[in-house]
Structure 1
Amino acid sequence: MKRIVITGTSRGIGFEMVQLFAQQDCEILALSRNPKPVQELNLSNVTALPFDLASTKDLENVESFLKENWSSVDILINNAGKLVNKPFTEITAEELFSVYQTNAVGTFQLTQKVVPMMKSDGHVVSISTMGGVQGSLKFPGLSAYSSSKAAIITLTELLAEEYKESGPSFNVLALGAVKTEMLAEAFPGYEPPTTAREMASYIANFAQTGAQFYNGKLLQVSNSTP
C-alpha cells in the first residue's frame, strides 16, 4: 500500500486525485484549509487534515501525524496553489506575500518535513503552470501567481541534484488550462478542453511511474493556450 501526501485537496484536481488514489487502495493524507469535502467522502484509507501552508503549527502537525502514524511516505504531491488576478501595480504586499507563501515558501517547507520520511524510490511531484515556464506565453494579471510557480520549477531542479545519490526523485509538471475554479478566476468565460478528473488521472499515474524515467525534470502538460 503506497502512502501519499497531497496538498490542495478541497476542490479541483487535488480533490479528484484523492478519489483516484483511494480507489487504488493507497493510504492518503489530504491537506487543505477546508478538509470538509474530503471528509464527506467517508473513505477509510484517507485522512483529511485542516492545513494552511502559511501556518508553522499546521506544518508541525503534519510532521507529527506522519511520525506517529506512518513509517514512511512514498509520494508527495505539492498541488496547492493560490492565485491573484490583478494588474501588476494593484497587487498589494499582503496579496503578494500570501501567494508566494502558498505557492513557493509553504511548498518548500512542507517538502522539508516530508522528504526525511521518504525512501530512495520515493517521488516528489510539484504542480506548476505553463505561465511559469521560461519562454512560454504569458498573460497580464498573473505576475504574482506565475512568478511564484516558476520558483517551484527551479526548486525541483535543485532538489533533484541535492538528492541524486540517495533519492527521492523530484519532478515538476507545468499544467496548461484545466477546468477548475482557479482557472475560471484567471480566465473568466474560457472553456478549457481538459477536465480536473482527466488531469488528476494523468498526475496520479505520473506520480507512481514517472520517477523511473525522470528526475529533476520539467514536463509541460498542456494541449491548449492558455
Structure 2
Amino acid sequence: MKNIIITGTSRGIGFELTQLFAKNNCNVLALSRNSEPLNKLALKNVSTLSVDLSNDADLQKVTAFIAKNWKTVDILINNAGKLINKPFEELSTKDFMEVYQVNVFAVAELTKQLLPFFKEGSHIVNISSIGGVQGSMKFPGLAAYSSSKGALLTLTEMLAEEYKEQGISFNALALGAVQTEMLNEAFPGYKAPVSAIEMAEYIYNFALTGNKFYNGKILEVSSSTP
C-alpha cells in the first residue's frame, strides 16, 4: 500500500482526492484545519490530523505520525491554498504574508520536514494555479494569490534539481478554473467547466504515474480562461 499525504482536505479537490486514494487501497494522511468533514465519512485507510500548516508545532505532529506509523512517504500533494481577493491598493503586507505563508512557506517547511521519509520514487506534487504562470491571463484582485503561486512554481523547479540524484521527483500542476469554494471566492458566480471530482481524478492519476515521465515540470491543466 502506498503512503499518501494530502493537505487542504476539508473541501474541494483535497476532499475528493482523499476519498479516491483511500478507495484504491492507499494509506492517506489528510491534513487540514478542519478534519470534521472527512471524519464523518469514517473512511478505511484514512488518518486525519487537524493542523495549521503555518505552525511549526503542528507540522511536527505530521512527522511524528510518519515516524511512528509509516516510516516512508510515497506521495505528498501540497494542495492547501489561501486566497485573498482585494484591489492591489488595499492589500496590506499582512495580507501578502498570510497568502504566502500557506501557498509557499508552509509547502517549503512541510516538504523539508518530510525529506527523511521520502525515498527513490517518491513524488511531490505541488498544486499551483494557471494565474501563477508567466504570460497567462491575470485578473485584478489576485496580486497576492497569483504571485504566490508563481513562487511555488519556481520552488518546484528548484527542489527537483536539488533532489534528482536521490530519485525524488517534484512537479507542479497549474490548475485553471475548477468548481470549488475557492473559485467562487475569486470569481463569484462563475461556473467552471471542470468539477472538483474531475480534477481530483486527474491529479490522482498524475500523482501515481507522472513522475515516470516528468520531473521539475510545470504542467498547465486548464481548458478555460479563467
Q: State the TM-score, normalized to the length of structure 1.
A: 0.99
Alpha-carbon displacement from aligned partner over 1:70-127 (angstroms, at most 9, x marks no partner):
1200000000000000001111222211111000000100001112201110100000
Query: 2:39 matched to 1:43?
Result: no
Give unmatched runs, 5+ long, in structure 2: none
Count the aligned residue pairs. 226
Given that residues 132 and 174 in structure 1 are in contact (C-alpha distance below 8 angstroms), is that contact kept between their aligned partners in structure 2?
A: yes
Write the distance in 2 (CA, Å) between the matches of 1:197 and 1:97.
30
Write the distance in 1 (CA, Å) between the matches of 2:116 and 2:71.
11
Moved more, 58-67 or 11-20: 58-67
What is the RMSD of the two structures over their aligned residues, measured on CA atoms? 0.7
Partner of 1:173: 173
Query: 2:80 matched to 1:89?
Result: no
Alignment of 1:23-102 (within 5 A): 23-102=23-102
Query: 2:30 matched to 1:21?
Result: no
Alpha-carbon displacement from aligned partner over 1:128-154 (angstroms, at most 9, x marks no partner):
000000010000000000111111100
Letter in 2 for 1:64: A
Give unmatched runs, 5+ long, in structure 1: none
Write the distance in 1 (CA, Å) between the matches of 2:199 and 2:139.
22
Letter in 2 for 1:24: N
Runs of 4+ in 1 over 6 A off after TM superposition: none
Partner of 2:10: 10
Alignment of 1:136-147 (within 5 A): 136-147=136-147
Letter in 1 for 2:42: N
Query: 2:195 matched to 1:195?
Result: yes
Write the distance in 2 (CA, Å) between the matches of 1:115 and 1:134.
29
Write the distance in 2 (CA, Å) between the matches of 1:199 and 1:19.
13
Q: State the TM-score, normalized to the length of structure 2.
A: 0.99
Task: Say which SS state the counterpart of residue 131 (structure 1) adopts.
Answer: helix
Write the distance in 1 (CA, Å) between the matches of 2:128 and 2:63.
24
Write the distance in 2 (CA, Å) between the matches of 1:118 and 1:131.
29
Measured after TM superposition, the shift of residue 26 of structure 1 is 0.2
Write the distance in 2 (CA, Å) between the matches of 1:39 and 1:69.
19
Write the distance in 2 (CA, Å) between the matches of 1:153 and 1:220.
11
Write the distance in 1 (CA, Å) between the matches of 2:88 and 2:115.
35
Given that residues 7 and 79 in structure 1 are in contact (C-alpha distance below 8 angstroms), is that contact kept between their aligned partners in structure 2?
A: yes
Write the distance in 2 (CA, Å) between the matches of 1:66 and 1:146.
32
